Structure 1
Amino acid sequence: MIARNNEINLLLEALATYPAVGIIGARQVGKTTLAAMLTRKWSGPVHHFDLENSEDMARLFDPMLTLKELRGLVILDEIQRMPEIFPALRVLIDKKLDDLRFLILGSASPQMLRQSSESLAGRIRYHRLSGLGLDEIPSGQSEQLWLRGGFPLSFLAQDDAKSFEWRKAFVSTFLERDLPQLGINVSSTTLRRFWNMLAHYHGQIWNASEFARSFGVADTTVRQYLDRLTDALVVRQVQPWHENISKRQVKSPKVFICDSGLTHALLNLPAKHDVLGHPKSGATWEGFVIEQIIRLLRADESECFHWATHSGAKLDFLHVRGSTRTGFEIKRTSSPRLTRSMRIAMHDLKLKHLFVIHAGEHIFPLAENIKAVPISRLSETLMGYL
């Protein structure tokens, strides 16, 4: 088991300020394990309800009756199974009981947990839990993290074959059981085909018309499929950045499978040599690095963009926080070079810094405020940036 101390500390800080904190993340990403780790550092009583357990569901048949007498930390696991509990939580939170906190675990985005956004607005802080990150694994294992992905049971598997077997099983279970439980009423066969096609499209600009033609449905229908998988936290849409400059800019999102290990499973790439020999190898590495950047910067979706012009200039990832803009180019090479596109991005976007993340070993400057950074030094570089 890998101790996720940074995540625990962030949650403890949030619980000191907010009466309710929500941990959201894909199934099997480690939410329940993280909550158990947190309880070891919690000084007061802890009450745990697993809403996939019929006995706990029965105990919460009348949630107000059960919860109003509790004090300390109340953990509600798989909250999307019982959205009707949120009004009761709002009433209890509004009593402003200093000795009562709620830790809510869910396998869907806040947008999908519509009841929480309506009932707990201003009372809850969400924390998105991704898979294991570069700052949590032993030094020198970044390539294994890329190949296997960040799901703990996949990364920690006995060997690559066991890891691949786990990921293939996850995809099937997720499509056949988990998505219907989230209220997504699309056949598992259709979503499997869509997800597989999306894996081949990984890292590209979204083109609804192309997908719609393949499925023989309307553009709006395939857009709904994309949004459903995004809400289930297995797909990421990186929105385009555009502003008033004298260039025509791309205004569609880039799409990624959030976990590189799942991408490799969907592409049926069980081993390292399969991944390295596949045309999407560079794209899956780009997606992996972007997820690590977002995680290390604790960036929310409103801060994350890509940028591209119709004349060919582009930037893989743009982070905007306040008035500060930081760019990232991602190159799976050991010797990245300065490109014209990088210079255009620096000038047109008025970047404070541009980091070129690469697969080599050394940090070195490419130009003023443009620095090449190896993936192995990404954590320390971004911690300095923060």
Structure 2
Amino acid sequence: MKIPHQMRDFHGSLLGMLTRQRLLRHIEKRLGFFRAVELTGPRQVGKSTLARHFLPANHPNYFDLELPAVRALFADPEPLLANAEGLVVIDEVQHAPRLYQLLRYLIDRPDRIDRPGQYLLLGSASHNLLKQEESLLGRVATVEVTGLTIDETGWEDEEVAKLWLRGGFPLAFLAPDDESSLAWRQSALDRYVRTDLPGLVGNVAVPAVHRFMGMLSHLHGQVWNAAAPAQSMGVNESTVRRYLDFMTETFMIRQLPAFHENLGKRQVKAPKIYFRDSGFLHALWGVRSLGDLLRHPHAGASWEGFALEQVLRLAKPQQAFFWATHQGAELDLVMLDGSRRIGVEFKRSSVVGATRSMHIAMHDLKLDALYVVYGGPHRYYLADRMEAVPLWSLLPSRDVKTGAP
């Protein structure tokens, strides 16, 4: 969706009021060590706004490949980049599929050691989907830019509810009212299906993808099974798997893999699927207000996905899974960080207790700790190494991994 310049400037100034200092410091740290840093994430999530903290958009070293004239120049980018000094920003890098081959050469040029260039690359799809001909392995650091999190918007009940309802895309969150936010999200989804996805993956059946996204919204938080949507759409299972993978690589869907090891029990091996942004999920459901959301029959699944994203974005575990057995035991999230194993369960209710399934997970998976992230305001222990924690405990100043205040 095209945003008028005046509206972009207005929302850009509002976004500047939000605290994204943690993310800016992380990018700055990576730029202090790597010759190239790649910011990946969906469109309109704020990557360009972050890049402009390091280089203004009118700087001659700032190239926005969304603009057709700039994209035409990048048919042969070497004359533009060969003698560039200092930081170079290349926005919407997916429009230059052979760029990485040139960047690898420029980074390794021995005659430029005394005046090395540095590159900040912004892309709206994962590197797996871009299929660049050359790898910058060891030369580039990747930073995923997600939607806003509770440490950036505030953890008070009203702000958390707003973030849950509208999602973390800045223009959706900062809209003057819920109706405007919903209109933006609906338009963004339409552009994603009609323009963004085809531009990255080639020809797709737009009406079929629209239908598929609607089906996925009702499978949010469930174990993936391609058979039902394939049958409903009248296509084979490989087609719906391909659509799902495209949406995963463009940051619309999270496929949370199943954790399994030799326990002597039959364990679920298919992934769970979640919409990464709760606001887009609610737009697909037609939810217009917080009242509508609280009355929705799948409000619990929505809150689970919202809280899951907050945990993953703030805790940043090395690996993340869910766990389930065919006997009925399950755990919403298993985080591995070095030798530590942390389990997380999500409950929207205001009071929670330890369940049999949690005790089975603690024993079978040999967890160091298990946290129940719930909708109440207080922390309290449920059992040995098992604690109920509200969303505010996810903030960086309160370590959910150790339980430290």
Q: Which residue of structure 1 aligns with residue 208 of structure 2?
A: 190
Q: Deviations 1:203-241 (Å, cap 9, x if unpaired)?
A: 000011111111122211111110011011110000000
Asked whether 1:377 is paired with 2:393, we answer yes
Give the conservation status (yes or no) of the 8 Å contact 2:380–2:389. yes
Distance 1:58 1:227 in 2: 30
Distance 1:372 1:383 in 2: 11
Give the conservation status (yes or no) of the 8 Å contact 1:296–1:382. no
Distance 2:362 2:259 in 1: 14
**SS of equivalent residue, structure 2 residue 346:** strand
Asked whether 1:51 is paired with 2:81, we answer no
Give the conservation status (yes or no) of the 8 Å contact 1:184–1:228. no
Q: Aligned partner of 1:242: which letter?
A: H
Q: Which residue of structure 2 aligns with residue 248 of structure 1?
A: 266
Give the alignment partner of residue 32 of structure 1, picking from 29, 34, 48: 48
Runs (4+) of structure 1 exceeding 6 A deviation are none
What is the deviation of 1:53?
1.2
Asked whether 1:115 is paired with 2:136, we answer no
Q: Which residue of structure 1 aligns with residue 340 of structure 2?
A: 324
Give the alignment partner of residue 153 of structure 2, picking from 137, 141, 154: 137
The 1:348–1:381 alpha-carbon spacing in structure 2 relative to 1, beyond 3 Å, is farther
Distance 1:213 1:187 in 2: 16
Gaps spanning 5+ residues in structure 2: where? 1-14
**SS of equivalent residue, structure 1 residue 112:** helix
Q: Which residue of structure 2 aligns with residue 224 of structure 1?
A: 242
What is the deviation of 1:383?
6.0
Q: Which residue of structure 2 aligns with residue 81 of structure 1?
A: 95
Distance 2:345 2:255 in 1: 17
Asked whether 1:310 is paired with 2:326, we answer yes
Q: Which residue of structure 1 aligns with residue 288 of structure 2?
A: 270
What is the deviation of 1:46?
7.3
The 1:384–1:306 alpha-carbon spacing in structure 2 relative to 1, beyond 3 Å, is closer
What is the deviation of 1:384?
6.1
Aligned residues: 379
Distance 2:81 2:353 in 1: 59
Q: Which residue of structure 1 aligns with residue 171 of structure 2?
A: 153
Asked whether 1:5 is paired with 2:21, we answer yes
Q: Which residue of structure 1 aligns with residue 118 of structure 2?
A: 101
Give the alignment partner of residue 354 of structure 2, picking from 332, 335, 338: 338
Q: Aligned partner of 1:121: which letter?
A: L
Q: Aligned partner of 1:92: which letter?
A: L
**SS of equivalent residue, structure 1 residue 365:** strand
Give the conservation status (yes or no) of the 8 Å contact 1:47–1:74. yes
In the TM superposition, 1:272-291 aligns within 5 A as: 272-291=290-309
Distance 2:123 2:66 in 1: 12
Q: Which deviates further from its counterpart, 79-88 or 356-365?
A: 79-88
| TM-score normalised to structure 1 length | 0.95
Distance 2:272 2:77 in 1: 42
Asked whether 1:353 is paired with 2:369, we answer yes
What is the deviation of 1:189?
0.9
Q: Which residue of structure 2 aligns with residue 167 of structure 1?
A: 185
Q: Aligned partner of 2:299: which letter?
A: S
Give the conservation status (yes or no) of the 8 Å contact 2:161–2:290. no
Distance 1:39 1:76 in 2: 11
Give the conservation status (yes or no) of the 8 Å contact 2:84–2:117. yes
Give the conservation status (yes or no) of the 8 Å contact 2:75–2:96. no
Q: CA RMSD in A?
A: 1.6
| TM-score normalised to structure 2 length | 0.90
Distance 1:282 1:127 in 2: 30
Asked whether 1:209 is paired with 2:223, we answer no
What is the deviation of 1:21?
0.9
Give the conservation status (yes or no) of the 8 Å contact 1:73–1:100. yes
Q: Aligned partner of 2:368: which letter?
A: K
What is the deviation of 1:59?
3.5
Give the alignment partner of residue 65 of structure 1, picking from 79, 84, 106: 79
Q: Aligned partner of 1:347: which letter?
A: H
Give the conservation status (yes or no) of the 8 Å contact 1:46–1:72. no
Give the conservation status (yes or no) of the 8 Å contact 1:71–1:99. yes
What is the deviation of 1:376?
2.4
Q: Deviations 1:155-190 (Å, cap 9, x if unpaired)?
A: 011011111111111111111111111124212111
Identical positions, percent: 44
Distance 2:385 2:398 in 1: 13
What is the deviation of 1:3?
3.5
Q: Deviations 1:34-89 (Å, cap 9, x if unpaired)?
A: 1112338xxxx872100011232243332112101111111100001111211111
Q: Aligned partner of 1:59: which letter?
A: L
Distance 2:72 2:243 in 1: 33
